[in-house]
Amino acid sequence: MSDVQPEAVGVRTHPLTSVVQGALWAAAASFGLISSIFTGDGWGDMSAVLSLVISLGGGLVVGMLVGYLSWRFTRYVIDGTELRINSGIVTKASRRIPYERIQSVDIAEPLVARVFGLAELRIEMAGGKDSRTSLRFLALADARDLRRVLLARAHGETHEGEAVEEQRTIITVVPPERVMIGTVLSLDFLFAAIGSIVLIVGAIWFGEFVVALGGIIPLGTWLAQIIAKRILQQWDFTLSRGQGGLRIERGLLSRTSQTIPFSRVQGIAIKEPFVWRRFGWLRLEVDIAGYAAHGDDEGVDSSSILLPISDRILADAVIAELIPGSAVDDVPQTAAPKRSRMFAPIGWRYRWVGANERTFVAREGWIERTTSIVPHHKTQSVELRQGPLQRRRRLATIEVHTPQGPVDADGRNLDERDARAIVLAQLDRARAARA
């Protein structure tokens, strides 16, 4: 990164950005066309092959033109106090990112960009929905160097050796075959696969393939989404530890390198699917401040998965590192009373909440057991809710609010007196922890 110096003109991203952008547009146009063909639409009487060629060519040309103009008018500047990104073709914009506001810097390598050795740099800042800034696209080596520089300056390191690679310790590497086995043994995968097979066999047996197509397409789409999110995205999953937090690297086709600073962890959810429990397996998901505001449509780096599949010993070690003193087994439990079974005839037996000196814990679910862990100082607010039927049964629901994400620390249909006492006690714990 010797060319990244404070200067008024700034530095452009990689010249092949326009080619990558064009390929992404072409892929999106082709995907849209294929979807419309399957749903019975399309481009009139034009053949499917010709339509596909036109969509590919048109998407490539338009994407390359837009990508070139974007590349031509985008520059980034690093000075002593901030990163500045200047962009805009007609309307000029200058995004200024003070180093002290940088929370994390992630690297995403979409499949097309990987072909050219390029990557996208995604910068998360303290803030809400507009807290993310990205640079598309840089050479992978430059993206890694720039990440090191930005993280070093965000931590107040301005000496000459700030771009030295941070020393990291590998915590675990999840083998792809274990991810595949876990996916195949998940109930939603089994339902989608069995449903698709039954529909295909039935269509062949009764000769009504066109009618069955209406069910096969959504089931097949569901199956493809499960495979993409749980196998392709989590392929070669590597979790490592550094001075500032954990780093997750994953992906078969598109590769991402995601950083989770310790200070941004708002809570952890332990997911134990029905079949997995027989093998002692579980999945860890995490609430990260700011990530949920972007949604999943901006890439897999917004994923909340901390460990896609793990045994209990490794999971407990990772949880203890992120939230010390959060041993679930040591938490005094307040369970839902028997009179709450009208709201959950089976699930009421598995609902309880509790707290120790460091965390609030809530558990529920019998098909997929979920345990949510929230540090007291991350509690945003606490709510007590009671509907008319709950009042008749002397029940109430409490919610410990955290940022949007997989952690759902709720105590549903508890005894109303217990619920009020838990709410007041949790407010006191949160105030004391923040103080």
The strand pairing partners of 355, in sequence order, are 360
Between 213 and 416, name the one with better pLDDT. 416
Per-residue pLDDT at 220:
82
Q: Cα separation of 323 and 224, whole Å?
A: 35
pLDDT, average across residues 55-62? 81
Per DSSP, the residues of 347-378 read GGGG-EEEE-SSEEEEEE-SSEEEEEEEEGGG
Whether residue 262 is preceded by a cis peptide bond, meaning omega within 30 degrees of 0, is: no
Q: List the structure tokens of 164.
A: 């030295």
Instruction: Look up the pTM and report it.
Output: 0.86
Q: List the structure tokens of 146.
A: 């720039």
Q: Cα separation of 383 and 119, whole Å?
A: 43
Q: List the structure tokens of 7.
A: 């200067």
Average pLDDT, the chain: 86
User: How do residues 130-146 score in pLDDT, each as one tens digit?
Assistant: 678 899 999 999 999 99
Phi then psi for residue 45, to 5 deg, are -85, 0
Residue 403 banded pLDDT, cuts 50, 70, 90: confident
**In whole angstroms, how far apart are CA 355 and each of 137, 240, 266, 375?**
46, 29, 16, 10
Residue 347 banded pLDDT, cuts 50, 70, 90: very high
Between 51 and 345, name the one with better pLDDT. 345
Residue 183 banded pLDDT, cuts 50, 70, 90: very high
User: How do residues 323-335 score in pLDDT, each as one tens digit?
Assistant: 988 888 889 999 9
pLDDT reading at 40 higher than 80: no
Q: Cα separation of 314 and 303, whole Å?
A: 20
Between 408 and 290, name the one with better pLDDT. 408
Instruction: Write out the H or E segment, with its range, that includes residue 69.
Output: helix 48-72
Residue 56 banded pLDDT, cuts 50, 70, 90: confident
Per DSSP, the residues of 87-133 read E-SSS-EEEEEEGGGEEEEEEEE-HHHHHTTEEEEEEEESSSTT-EE
pLDDT, average across residues 174-197? 93
List CB contacts of 65: < 8 A, sequence separation 6 or more: 18, 22
Kind of pairing between the strands at 169-174 and 352-355: unpaired
Per-residue pLDDT at 274:
95
**In whole angstroms, how far apart are CA 24 and each of 19, 27, 302?**
9, 5, 19
| 311: helix, strand or coil | strand
